[in-house]
Amino acid sequence: MSLPLEGLSAIVTGAGRGLGRAEALELARLGAAVVVNDYGKPGRDGSGAASAGPAEQVVEEIRTAGGTAVPHTGDVADFRQAGELVRLAVEEFGKLDILVNNAGILRDRMVFSMTEDEWDSVIRVHLKGHFNTTRFAAAHWRERSKAAGAAVYGRIVNTSSEAFVAGSAGQPNYAAAKGGIVGLTTSTALALAKYGVTANVICPRARTRMTEDVFAGLRGPDEGLDPLAPAHVAPLVGYLASPAAAGINGQLLVVHGGMVAVLERPRVAAKFDSKQETFSYDELDALLTPHYAGRPEGETFAAAEVLGLRRG
């Protein structure tokens, strides 16, 4: 019996540790040949010297388990290096079928204290990094589709965050980048559908180097799988990368601890029409002020609260 991803090739960025590592291992377990990308800097803020160690270690894990993998230690936030990453997958495996974007850093600060560099660096790694790899993968699939005169196989799984869904006071750069990734994904989904490519985005919650302080007060169980283990997230990524998910495109899913929640696009909660040619200040005051009066702060995120979503 063949594996779901047998004969397919994948790239996973930020795959040397945490979520990316778990996702790379899962794709390999399902039969994909994997390019394990990780820049290898030790600091979760992107500090320290780059190292090939994390990517090479995950490649060795995959090979030891009988899978196929090669390392790539470039910076996906660099346009040229992202192009080299996609070319490496094509050269090694003949084509690229799956792109999982996961690489990221944190530089948390309240908006009134954040520096320009703290803003730019997080937007660069998360949002530009997602764009760079997507751009080159998309061009690869478009060229293949045009040459074949038919749709090809392509899957993109991007990584957003509950910080975008429910807000995160100390992470304006991170929340903005993650919101941008959702917009990038839905735009990409529309643009590439005719070539046979799907693009979806997940909001994972997991205990990793990136979230160590977020979940500092939540101990894992003494026995059994930690509800916040990255292993809870990886199966969804494997599924979205598979042929079984061909009908899922442009979707946002929250995943953690054995739960998957499918989020709807924003819906109109209330609608007001002017009784005049256009609204006046007084008319808006008479309509909107009572509508919001007495509502608890943050009630607009009621759906997120029902799911128990918070910063992640």
Residues catalogued as catalytic: 161, 174, 178
Task: For residues 60 and 66, give the distance between their C-alpha atoms in angstroms, rounded to a whole number.
Answer: 10
Measured in whole angstroms, the distance separating CA 154 from the mean position of its chain's CA atoms is 16
Instruction: For CA atoms 66, 238, 69, 57, give the dihedral sign.
Output: negative
Q: How far apart are the first and last CA of the chain?
A: 38
Measured in whole angstroms, the distance separating CA 146 from the mean position of its chain's CA atoms is 28
Three-state secondary structure call for residue 26? helix
For tokens 């590592």, name the residue.
Answer: 21
Task: For residues 34 and 24, give the distance between their C-alpha atoms in angstroms, rounded to a whole number.
Answer: 7
Task: Report CA-CA distances (Å) from 46 to 39, 76, 102, 209.
Answer: 9, 13, 14, 12
Closest CA to 255 of 272, 238, 276: 238
Neighbouring C-beta atoms of residue 266, cutoff 10 Å? 8
Kindly give, in sequence order, each residue whose CB lies less than 8 Å from that of residue 149, ignoring residues fewer than 6 positions away. none
Cross-sheet strand order for the sheet of 197-204: 69-72, 33-37, 9-12, 98-100, 154-159, 197-204, 252-256, 259-263
At residue 278, what are phi and psi to the nearest 5 degrees? Answer: -150, 165
Record the tokens describing residue 92, joined without a space: 């090694």
